């Protein structure tokens, strides 16, 4: 397609789609290639300042809007998603910009209608409390209020649903997949979200570090929301720390699946395969480490090997036998291969796979005898690979031998054992007899510190508890002044 026919993604500031104030643009490329699939406006410093100012102007009216009216905006957006008018366009844009399969993007699209209805219902849970003041005759009122302008940065690996999740805050950022994220903005624009409440700022890769730092430093930005890798999350957190601004960080995972001796092995193998290979392993909750009891190791490896060998990764549009797309960049694929080769050099054994890549495509891999201290155990691979560790009584210790704490799964038929062991696994969400790629909307995913980040995308983290103290009508003696009487 000629450059002048490529889709163009604009900025969205104060309710208006517009180009960058400087006319700057950046190309959007297909994954693992230099093929252009679109062009986007690149936000300038004045554009960022205008978006923040628009959000600040919109904030007082939006905060005072009745919860029922805010709920209705979300419900109208959910209805538009459920109608599916944009489903095909979202699937096509995600395939072009991120390489995601139609099955994955379609499923994520369909789930968002339910998610938005759930979010709309959260308004009914926004409650304060009142209690007697420590001043005799006084009364204290604790209530929850919004922060104000928030900077939200959404990732590329699940751009549609994770961008919508970021709608709890009014400013979003896009770099790798602006067209997909712009579609989420359009849905809320059509649903009647007032202008200025949500602003959308694509920016080039070269300019994004400076723009992010400038926006974090802006005095009207009250909080920062980032979902992505730990390296960038650490940089953003350090910038926010300069101004003592709070953050919510959902970062990476090195998710363990703990399989005990009494587990349903075929079912566990299916769940592990799904969670390990979904989106070619490019999910923060992807199963990366399998910690299995020695008595069922052979059976589980056999089941997983059969399943992994049936999954072909490639270009589904060119090769109908490929069920998954490759990694986002060739550099990502090269890094995954190097991690596996390093593990093999340190004593790990390859169960399935050939330690090679074809550009950004790596076929599913299983490695055994990978131990703490090896890079493949310590670092998030973000690729289609799992590592095996055999355990007897130290399964929990191995599961917790990681700086990541996002998700986990535990496989056992003994419900009492599940509760005892599951409570000891250091993860935000432990799925008993279920896949690691799962979380409950009532308590959104988040890390427990370290490389998985901290905070949640929920009412508690996105509102502030403020206190009003009503002093009694009868005046009490005041220190200092009472000495003068």
Give the β-pairing of 199-202 and 313-314: unpaired
Q: Is the CB of residue 327 less than 8 Å from the CB of residue 383?
A: yes
From the candidates 284, 297, 380, 429, give the one annotated as an active-site residue: 284
Locate 200 and state its tokens. 């959308």
pLDDT at position 351: 97
More confident residue, 86 or 175: 86
Answer whether residue 169 shows pLDDT above 70: no
Q: Is the CB of residue 459 less than 8 Å from the CB of residue 248?
A: no
Angle at 429 between CA 427 and CA 432, to 5 degrees: 110
Q: What is the mean pLDDT of the chain?
A: 89
pLDDT at position 4: 58
Which residues, at least 6 apart from 4, have a Cβ–Cβ distance to it below 8 Å?
Answer: none
Tokens 């410093």: give the residue.
45
CA dihedral 11, 15, 21, 25 (to 10 degrees): 10
Residue 440, classed as helix, strand or coil, is strand
Answer whether residue 3 shows pLDDT above 60: no
CATH fold of 255-432, please? Aldehyde Dehydrogenase; Chain A, domain 2 (3.40.309)
C-alpha distance from residue 235 to each of 52, 150, 202, 313, 459 (Å):
21, 17, 19, 33, 26
Structural domain spans, the chain:
3-251+447-467, 255-432
* 250 annotated active-site: yes
Locate 456 and state its tokens. 């949640």
pLDDT at position 485: 72
User: How many whole angstroms separate alpha carbon 153 and alpha carbon 362?
Assistant: 28
Tens-place pLDDT, residues 102-161: 888 888 888 888 888 888 887 777 778 999 999 899 999 998 888 889 898 887 777 677
More confident residue, 106 or 410: 410
Q: What is the DSSP string of 286-335?
A: -EEEEEEEGGGHHHHHHHHHHHHHH--EE-TTT-TT--EE--S-HHHHHH
Tokens 């996002």: give the residue.
406
Of 260, 407, 384, 329, nearest in space to 30 by CA: 329
Answer whether residue 176 shows pLDDT above 80: no
Q: What is the mean pLDDT of residues 205-209?
A: 92
Q: Is the CB of residue 13 less than 8 Å from the CB of residue 54?
A: yes
Give the β-pairing of 11-13 and 16-18: antiparallel
Rg, C-alpha atoms of the chain: 25
Q: Which helix (H) or strand (E) holds 277?
A: helix 265-277
User: How many whole angstroms separate alpha carbon 423 and alpha carbon 429?
Assistant: 10
Tokens 């191995």: give the residue.
398
Q: What is the DSSP string of 88-105?
A: HHHHHHHHHHH---HHHH
Question: What's the CATH number for 3-251+447-467?
Answer: 3.40.605.10
Using a pLDDT cut of 70, give the percent of the chain over it: 95
Q: What is the mean pLDDT of residues 185-207?
A: 92
Of 221, 216, 170, nearest in space to 193 by CA: 170
User: How many whole angstroms separate alpha carbon 321 and alpha carbon 69?
Assistant: 48
- Range with the poorest average pLDDT among 47-51, 93-97, 425-429: 93-97
User: How many whole angstroms separate alpha carbon 141 and alpha carbon 147?
Assistant: 18
* 227 annotated active-site: no
User: What confidence tier does 171 reach under pLDDT thresholds 50, 70, 90?
Assistant: very low
Of 407, 409, 369, 406, nearest in space to 391 by CA: 369
User: What confidence tier does 54 reach under pLDDT thresholds 50, 70, 90?
Assistant: very high
Q: Which helix (H) or strand (E) holds 463?
A: strand 463-470
HSE-CB at 4 with a 13 A cutoff on CA atoms is 0
More confident residue, 153 or 19: 19
pTM for the whole structure: 0.87
pLDDT at position 443: 63
Alpha helices in 122-222 (DSSP H): 159-165, 178-190, 208-217
pLDDT at position 441: 62
pLDDT at position 81: 86
Of 117, 112, 118, nearest in space to 75 by CA: 117
Answer whether residue 439 shows pLDDT above 70: yes
From the candidates 175, 176, 239, 250, give the one annotated as an active-site residue: 250
More confident residue, 20 or 74: 20
Of 158, 181, 156, nearest in space to 108 by CA: 158
pLDDT at position 39: 93
Tens-place pLDDT, residues 445-455: 678 888 998 98
Tens-place pLDDT, residues 343-401: 999 999 999 999 999 999 999 999 999 999 999 999 999 999 999 999 987 899 999 99
Q: What is the DSSP letter of 169?
A: S
């Amino acid at each position: 397609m000629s450059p002048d026919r490529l889709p163009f993604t604009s900025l969205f500031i104060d309710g208006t789609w517009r180009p960058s104030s400087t006319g700057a643009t950046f190309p959007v490329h297909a994954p693992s290639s230099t093929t252009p699939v679109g062009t986007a406006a690149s936000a300038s410093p004045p554009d960022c300042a205008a978006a923040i100012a628009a959000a600040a102007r919109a904030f007082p009216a939006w905060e005072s809007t009745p919860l029922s009216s805010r709920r209705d905006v979300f419900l109208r957006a959910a209805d538009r998603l459920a109608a599916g008018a944009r489903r095909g366009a979202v699937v096509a844009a995600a395939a072009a910009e991120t390489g995601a399969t139609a099955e994955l993007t379609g499923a994520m699209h369909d789930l968002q209608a339910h998610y938005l209805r759930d979010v709309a219902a959260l308004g009914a849970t926004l409650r304060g409390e009142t209690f007697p003041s420590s001043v005799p005759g006084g009364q204290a009122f604790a209530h929850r209020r919004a922060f104000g302008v928030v900077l939200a940065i959404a990732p590329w690996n699940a751009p549609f649903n994770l961008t919508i999740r970021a709608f709890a805050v009014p400013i979003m950022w896009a770099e790798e997949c602006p067209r997909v994220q712009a579609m989420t903005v359009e849905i809320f624009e059509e649903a009647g979200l007032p202008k200025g409440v949500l602003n959308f700022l694509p920016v080039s890769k070269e300019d994004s570090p400076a723009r992010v730092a400038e926006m974090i430093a802006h005095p009207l930005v009250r909080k920062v929301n980032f979902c992505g890798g730990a390296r960038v999350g650490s940089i953003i957190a350090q910038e926010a720390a300069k101004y003592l601004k709070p953050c919510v960080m959902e970062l990476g995972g090195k998710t363990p699946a703990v399989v005990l001796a009494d587990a349903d092995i075929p079912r566990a193998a299916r769940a592990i395969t799904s969670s390990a290979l979904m989106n070619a392993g490019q999910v923060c909750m992807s199963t990366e480490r399998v910690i299995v009891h020695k008595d069922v190791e052979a059976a589980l490896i056999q089941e997983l090997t059969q399943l992994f060998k049936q999954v072909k990764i490639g270009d589904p549009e060119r090769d109908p036998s490929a069920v998954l797309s490759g990694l986002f960049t060739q550099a990502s694929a090269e890094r995954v291969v190097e991690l596996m080769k390093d593990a093999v050099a340190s004593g790990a054994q390859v169960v399935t796979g050939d330690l090679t890549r074809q550009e950004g495509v790596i076929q599913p891999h299983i490695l055994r005898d990978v131990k703490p201290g090896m890079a493949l155990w310590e670092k998030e691979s973000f690729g289609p690979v799992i590592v095996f560790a055999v355990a007897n009584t130290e399964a929990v210790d191995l599961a917790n031998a990681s700086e990541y704490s996002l998700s986990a799964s535990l496989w056992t038929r003994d419900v009492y054992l599940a509760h005892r062991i599951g409570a000891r696994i250091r993860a935000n969400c432990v799925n008993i007899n279920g896949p690691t790629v799962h979380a409950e909307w009532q308590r959104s995913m988040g890390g427990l510190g370290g490389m998985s980040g901290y905070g949640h995308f929920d009412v508690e983290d996105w509102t502030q508890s403020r206190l009003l103290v009503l002093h009694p009508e009868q005046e009490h003696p005041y220190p200092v002044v009472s000495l003068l009487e």
